[in-house]
Amino acid sequence: MNRAATTFFVNILVPIVTGAVYFIMAAEIKRVTKIRKLMFGEIGYNKAFSAFLLFGFYFMTRPLQNVLGPHPWPMVLNSMRQFFLMAVIAPAILVGILHWVPSEKGTPKSTVIAAYVGGFLMAVIFILINSMAIDGSKVLAEFGGWKIYDAKWFSAASVAASSSLSSSPDGGASAAFVAPKARLIVIHLITQLVSPVGYFLLAAAYVRHRRYNYPTSSVYNLIPRKWKYLEAGLLIFAVSMITAGFAAFFGQYYTYLWVIYFAAATVAGVIELISVKIPPREAPSDLKN
């Protein structure tokens, strides 16, 4: 497979397939909800359905970031999608987990508000960093008459710094350019480590806490197994985002490395679906049809 075909595969086909898989899994969760809502509560299943549906839209819109045209479209689409992920999807998943793995007194409204406010603030900071750092775009490849674009960081600033460096023997201009750039990158990473990564890790920690403290005498004896799969899916998702994120910044062919994230997202989604479909107790009769 040549470079153009690989770029098309990673940036266009893989996200579409991943999104389609999430739509299929959302439909399956909807089917399970109709059967299980009376015996195990409807709110948690509806939250899970919404999360899968939102992720389906998030992944399916990824190719638009690359095919709508040059700058500013890659930046605009990236900012919109990440706002959707950080301010809507991640808080919705955390809140959904709190409903699906409820505490004795339920989930306080203040916790729900705090989750969405935190995600919103991180998303706003992310967009501001994008608008400051992204000032151009580049053509990754041309495939089948389509140009695949990607956002480019500090393109104008790099040119200015290079021209200043040529007339500055002590390298002061280069240092003045690199330091702010590094700080922006760090802030950019931190916002995503808070939301969505931090939210997923927090949800996984909460699930683990509830799983280890679940009463063994309960009639719903498969709940710990459901929660074990739920925790595993959340951890895989979070770790994949951390791995792909750092690879995107420090890898030589960083665009291709996002396939790590897409593949892991599919695996995590399947594991979450298994968690949803596991019955709350052994030998259930509610899914025979």
Q: What is the mean pLDDT of residues 134-148?
A: 90
Q: How many beta carbons lie within 10 A of that of residue 26, not counting itself?
A: 20
- Considering only residues 103 and 127, tell me which one the structure prediction assigns the higher pLDDT: 127
Mean pLDDT of 13-19: 94
User: What pLDDT does residue 57 have?
Assistant: 96
pLDDT band at 154 (very low <50, low <70, confident <90, very high): confident
Does 284 map to a domain? no
Compare 92 and 44 and report the one with higher pLDDT: 92
Model confidence at 260, in pLDDT bands (50, 70, 90)?
Answer: confident
Identify the CATH number of the domain in which residue 41 sits: 1.20.1070
Residue 88 lies in a domain: yes
Q: Supply the pLDDT for residue 243.
A: 84
Does 289 map to a domain?
no
Q: Which helix (H) or strand (E) holds 246?
A: helix 223-250
Position 289 scores a pLDDT of 44
Q: Domain for residue 288, yes or no?
A: no
Domain assignment present for residue 35? The answer is yes
3-state helix, strand, coil in the chain (%, to 5): 75, 5, 20
Whether pLDDT at 173 is above 60: no
Full domain range(s) for residue 163: 3-277
How confident is residue 165, by pLDDT bands cut at 50, 70 and 90? very low
For residues 254-286, one letter each, b for 16 or more C-beta atoms within 10 angstroms of the residue's C-beta and e for the rest, the string is ebbbbbbbbebbbebbebbbebbbbbbeeeeee
CA 51 from chain center: how many Å?
11
39-89 confidence digits (pLDDT tens): 455 666 787 888 899 999 999 999 999 999 999 999 999 999 999 999 999
Question: Does a structural domain hold residue 283?
Answer: no
Q: Helices 223-250 and 172-192 sit at what angle, rounded to 10 degrees?
A: 170
In this prediction, residue 247 carries a pLDDT of 72
32 compared with 163, residue with greater pLDDT:
32
* Beta carbons of 7 and 254 less than 8 angstroms apart: no
Q: For all residues of the chain together, what is the average pLDDT? A: 84
Residue 121 or residue 215, greater confidence: 121
Handedness of CA 188, 190, 193, 198 (dihedral sign): negative
Length in residues, the chain = 289
- At residue 105, the pLDDT reads 74
Is the pLDDT confidence value at 91 over 90?
Answer: yes
Q: Is residue 44 part of a domain?
A: yes
Cα distance between residue 189 and residue 246, in whole Å: 8
- What pLDDT sits at residue 41? 55
Residue 160 included in any domain: yes
> How many folded domains does the chain comprise?
1
CA 85 to chain centre: 6
Tens-place pLDDT, residues 213-250: 998 888 888 889 989 999 999 999 999 888 877 776 66
pLDDT at 119: 98
Per DSSP, helices labelled H in the chain are: 3-8, 14-40, 43-60, 64-67, 73-83, 90-100, 109-133, 155-166, 172-192, 199-212, 223-250, 259-277
